[in-house]
Structure 1
């Protein structure tokens, strides 16, 4: 036990070093040596794929995911959801759903929910409620500080064994073709290490942009072992950029998404109040629009969180874990300190940094 604690402490120290370098290095220096390899241990049998028995599209996509990721058929779980299209569950409806899932689970580490709605339980996101349990106290004041995520920035590679947490993610189904394309991007992410770009935008929307700006690197920082170049820009949006792997910004709506080229496994999100409400409210952009543009994973809140950085992905943390070789779901879940109001969406097993370029002595 002592050895395990020491090992975890050393790993967290290495991540801290990586974070310091991401934010502090001069733009002409490479931080490859500060990124410690920490590859995921998640396997196909660790994923439970959960679909809506009342929706043929949900089942079709779920079965496609099993095939694409070679997940055992016994990990396919059909559940009965409330009336079609219901977005926010009541507590009894959530408890019914959870009991259906729990009755069929074994030792799986990950829950993949294959539907667009429901995505919330009162003010909690469905993914966080399933993983961490309901926090109805948050709903008394959604702008209050949140409950700590015990998995935040941890060294854990077995969340259920280490923390009794099954990481949850929503794979939203708008059309079967778009859901299949999302799955394919996740699978393709592992086949090659590509030249990539990371973008961190400081926008004029100070309320949504400022909270995460302290976690942005200096413009031009590189991770040569991962073939990644970082760009921190004063800009309202990217347009016609290629090889985008990371894109963090803060705005109600992000223009020109479809003009960019996103690599398989790309992560992108925008800090705003209701990005996790998975329909177009006309006021704020839902995170599903990132997926439709070609991104593989995103995150947004389902109720008014106020602009605490702790309620949104920390760019330094998600990049440190993803670049170390962890999966999208591990890196993203580890990056949100207070996740109860946020829904994680995408293909959980995407793993574009499972390999590195050889390191040579100077």
Structure 2
């Protein structure tokens, strides 16, 4: 381990994106009718050194969904007036006489809990009175408040359907991009304490950087979305972040015993499921977690429904989602999102670089200024619990093409420390790169290094996953049966039952004869 960590001083490591947005370019919007919303705004401003004069209080109803008229009269109109009064921007008319933003001192808006998140379409019928078709209903003026606010400085644009996002797939800080848009994020969750924790976690994690395991749940739904997740997995692997990739058609099973999860990307269940149903599960501090679903951010007040609120309630620091059906091609591209975060961009920059449209359904939840991978270059405070992950990254960079030497070094470090996580990381890397047989052997060795049954069960599940993917169904079933019996007292043993019900479903109950 010491040898691996010493290499940190010798290697040309990843450099984070430069020129992050300055605190003075951030404005914070809160609900002046809710004391906690104002307190949250002040807490955020103090945590990020945002000038208190950049706070804007709006008198708003305490509800998540508002009408288009309420949005215009209570949010868009007053906020536009504040930008004018404070001389935060310069606008001028376009060829049609509509005002457009030409310059702005404010580049990022942060909405606090208490600011409504959804705009509902006011009319369920066409102008002629005929009912909307399903397609028309999907393309009406429903939208996320934040996605509309991104175009606050532009007037006269259509409200029927989405508009192109000029920042999509850019690879330049917003400070240099010169885009006529605002980047809008929100500190919002099912409770104010969770919101405060999200702010604190972002600030504290930036001191060390975000280190831990990645989890990618492909689930094989639609090729486009699957490709995003597969590409994100490769990006994490390239950066030396050990990542579990589940390629089965079903999402990870209930109570799957994840540990030290720093980044999670998956799809496509309607409500929170799998590992995140386990009452004992908690993300690593500062974790970024997102589940691709049409209604992932449909509501933010119930920690048991949809995805965004539950992920935040389980300790995630940041997530992205949709308030209503966005259509797959108009939601966040998870591959771009992951790649931009890894490059050192802020959460809000990465999120807006990854979504092709505005005036639509996308939301960004978490501190917009958060840079989780700021210290991939080896800098930052060295937390004890992160050293294993830092060492694994160094091993990937030091011996990128010498797998035998890398495995030798990691095995030696795991033996000295009597910690199976380095071997677990190695096994995940081998599995991600098509070396399933070697990965299975490493997982079995890792199991011997763990004392906790929770961790031992995870190694057994990894091996069963490899057997399942390789069509060794009988071996997978046998391994799961042994694990189920061995760890029956653990809540996480439900994961073995879930997979057994798929691979070896119980026979249907006998048909009862009909009464004569």
Q: TM-score, normalised by structure 1?
A: 0.77
1:265 aligns with 286
1:71 is the counterpart of 2:65: no
- Contact 2:289 2:319 (C-alpha < 8 Å) held by counterparts: yes
State the 1:156 CA deviation: 3.0
Give the structure with higher Rg (CA): 2
SS at match of 2:226: helix
Q: Which has the higher strand share?
A: 1
Give the alignment partner of residue 264 of structure 2, picking from 247, 270, 273: 247
Count residues with an aligned counterpart. 318
| Alignment partners' CA distance in 2, 1:94 and 1:227 | 47
| Alignment partners' CA distance in 1, 2:326 and 2:214 | 26
1:345 aligns with 365
1:302 aligns with 323
| Alignment partners' CA distance in 2, 1:184 and 1:301 | 25
| Alignment partners' CA distance in 2, 1:225 and 1:218 | 11
State the 1:337 CA deviation: 1.4
| Alignment partners' CA distance in 2, 1:202 and 1:224 | 15
> For the structure 1 residues 37 and 117, does the alpha-carbon distance in structure 2 shift closer, same or farther, using more than 3 Å as the test?
closer
Give the alignment partner of residue 185 of structure 2, picking from 162, 166, 169: 169
State the 1:290 CA deviation: 1.2
- Contact 2:214 2:236 (C-alpha < 8 Å) held by counterparts: no
1:330 is the counterpart of 2:353: no
1:136 is the counterpart of 2:159: yes
> For the structure 1 residues 176 and 361, does the alpha-carbon distance in structure 2 shift closer, same or farther, using more than 3 Å as the test?
closer
| Alignment partners' CA distance in 2, 1:159 and 1:132 | 17
Structure 2 gap segments, 5+ residues each: 1-10, 89-104, 121-141, 379-393, 400-516
| Alignment partners' CA distance in 1, 2:367 and 2:148 | 19
Q: Which has the higher helix share?
A: 2
CA-to-aligned-CA distance 1:277-332 (integer Å, 9 cap, x gap): 215789961411111111122222222234x2x32222221111111111111111
Structure 1 gap segments, 5+ residues each: 1-31, 139-145
> For the structure 1 residues 155 and 95, does the alpha-carbon distance in structure 2 shift closer, same or farther, using more than 3 Å as the test?
farther
1:7 aligns with none
State the 1:342 CA deviation: 1.7
Q: TM-score, normalised by structure 2?
A: 0.56
| Alignment partners' CA distance in 2, 1:135 and 1:201 | 36
- Contact 1:42 1:158 (C-alpha < 8 Å) held by counterparts: yes
1:201 aligns with 217
SS at match of 1:67: helix
State the 1:224 CA deviation: 7.4
Give the alignment partner of residue 44 of structure 1, picking from 4, 16, 23: 23
| Alignment partners' CA distance in 1, 2:116 and 2:183 | 17
- Contact 2:262 2:286 (C-alpha < 8 Å) held by counterparts: yes
Higher relative contact order (CA 8 A, sep 6+): 1
Aligned positions of 1:173-252 closer than 5 A: 174-203=190-219, 206=221, 210-217=223-230, 221=234, 226-233=239-246, 234=248, 235-237=250-252, 239-250=256-267, 251-252=269-270
- Contact 2:30 2:57 (C-alpha < 8 Å) held by counterparts: yes
> For the structure 1 residues 172 and 135, does the alpha-carbon distance in structure 2 shift closer, same or farther, using more than 3 Å as the test?
farther
Higher mean C-alpha displacement, 149-158 vs 113-122: 113-122
> For the structure 1 residues 316 and 161, does the alpha-carbon distance in structure 2 shift closer, same or farther, using more than 3 Å as the test?
closer
State the 1:338 CA deviation: 2.7
